[in-house]
Amino acid sequence: MALKVENLTVYYQTLRGDVHALEHATFQIADGEIMGLAGESGCGKTTLGHSLIVLFPPMKYIGGQVWLDNEELPIWDSERMNAYRFHKVSLIPQYAMNAMNPIRKIGKMIQELLESRKVDYKEVLPELKRRLDLVALPHDVLQMYPIELSGGMKQRMVMVISSLLNPSLLIADEITSALDVATQKAVAEMLVEFRDRQFVKSMIVITHDISILYQVADSILIMYAGVLAEKAPTQSIIESPRHPYTRLLISSLPEVGVRFADKRLSGIPGNPPLLLDPPIGCRFRDRCPLAFERCLEEPPFIEVAKDHYVACWREFENHA
Ligand SMILES: Nc1ncnc2c1ncn2[C@@H]1O[C@H](COP(=O)(O)OP(=O)(O)OP(=O)(O)O)[C@@H](O)[C@H]1O
């Protein structure tokens, strides 16, 4: 098992109170698994992804445990996490393409990054060049400034850098949303190739755009309002979703490249609850066509079929 997360709860501390952005998240990712993480804007995808690598204020660790390759990650201790970041768990953040230091040549930047992690640049250079070949970037990019690269080239560069030390877990946060559809497809194929070549053992691909997950993900985890709704193999999520929210989400799937944020979900009246003061019980209760009294309690995230987990009292009762 590459990643095991149990009861992970993370809030944001604000002047108005705690934002309950991630509550009781429990799931696993197998060796070699690419897991898509999807849901509407504000449901906690980025919070979940980032809390596995860096918890910075106003994020606040409330509880829960995370194991990577059977070793517990000290995610509540940023300093101790330094030993794992980039080596064992690596993140491609949203807008990573523009996050590269504009006044550093790319090679120099990689050298500094490696040295800060006590890794010798010269030792890694031959492998770095092999990977540049693989993603069709000329070795000259190492002498270039980020501004000299196109959007697609920058994206490939960031992917090479973040997977350079063969991490066990790579978290890719919305890495395709700023790209045109053809480049999105190329980036998606590259993610799969990186896994197949064992540059990374497992991956979390965060996106608004479920259609991109058809191409890359072995499984999909759907979040709603800070909690996990459903996790299952990709085909099961697409063809036989069990959570009422997933069903509505899939039935109103946007076309390739369209973000959920740009399109209201048809058939789901209302909005997700505010996470400053989330409702008790199932957070989808107020919008759910199948809600009944039991939904006033928080539903457990249970396995209803092999590798298929759902947090819904209806499914729980059908399964019992
Ligand atoms: N710095 C912050 N301070 C306070 N609340 C925050 C902060 N960052 C995020 N939140 C809140 O936490 C919740 C989860 O946000 P998060 O960014 O994880 O969602 P997301 O699903 O990744 O959204 P998006 O797809 O729009 O990036 C939201 O209610 C958001 O308003």
Q: What is the mean pLDDT of residues 137-151?
A: 93
Q: Give pLDDT, residue 178.
A: 72
Q: What is the mean pLDDT of residues 166-177?
A: 91
For 181-220, the pLDDT digits (tens) are 778 888 889 999 999 999 999 999 999 888 888 889 999 9
Q: Is the pTM of this model over 0.90?
A: yes
Q: State the amino acid at position 108 in one-letter form.
A: K
Q: For the chain, give the percent of residues with pLDDT over 90.
A: 70
Question: Separation of 46 CA from ligand 1 center, angstroms?
Answer: 7
Q: Give pLDDT, residue 262.
A: 47
Q: Which CATH superfamily is domain 3-88+168-181+199-280 in?
A: P-loop containing nucleotide triphosphate hydrolases (3.40.50.300)
Q: Which two tokens stand for residue 305?
A: 């079929």
Domain residue ranges of the chain, discontinuous segments joined by +: 3-88+168-181+199-280, 95-166
Q: What is the mean pLDDT of residues 257-279?
A: 68
For 25-50, the pLDDT digits (tens) are 999 999 999 999 999 889 999 999 99
Q: What is the mean pLDDT of residues 287-304?
A: 95
19 Cα nearest atom in ligand 1: 5
Cβ of 47 below 6 Å from ligand 1: yes
Helices (H), 172-254: 181-196, 210-216, 234-239, 244-251
Judged against a pLDDT cut of 50, whether residue 141 lies above it is answered with yes
Judged against a pLDDT cut of 70, whether residue 22 lies above it is answered with yes
39 Cα nearest atom in ligand 1: 21
Q: State the amino acid at position 209 in one-letter form.
A: D
Judged against a pLDDT cut of 70, whether residue 266 lies above it is answered with no
Question: Separation of 118 CA from ligand 1 center, angstroms?
Answer: 33
Cβ of 214 below 6 Å from ligand 1: no
Nearest residue (CA) to ligand 1, atom 3 = 12
Q: Where residue 257 falls among pLDDT bands split at 50, 70, 90?
A: very low
d(CA 249, CA 230): 12
Query: Strand, helix or coil at 13?
Result: strand
Q: Which residue has the higher pLDDT, 56 or 222?
A: 222
Cβ of 283 below 6 Å from ligand 1: no
Cβ neighbours of 314 (radius 10 Å): 19
Q: What is the mean pLDDT of residues 227-251?
A: 94
H-run or E-run covering 188: helix 181-196
Q: Which residues make beta-bridge pairs with 12?
A: 19, 59
Cα distance between the two ends of the chain: 27
94 Cα nearest atom in ligand 1: 27
Directed axis angle between helix 106-116 and helix 121-134, to 10°?
130
Q: Which residues make beta-bridge pairs with 207?
A: 38
d(CA 18, CA 15): 8
Nearest residue (CA) to ligand 1, atom 14 = 44
46 Cα nearest atom in ligand 1: 22
Q: Give pLDDT, residue 5.
A: 98
Cβ of 273 below 6 Å from ligand 1: no
User: Can you tell me the ipTM of this complex?
Assistant: 0.97
d(CA 295, CA 273): 15
Q: Which residue has the higher pLDDT, 102 or 245?
A: 245
Judged against a pLDDT cut of 60, whether residue 122 lies above it is answered with yes
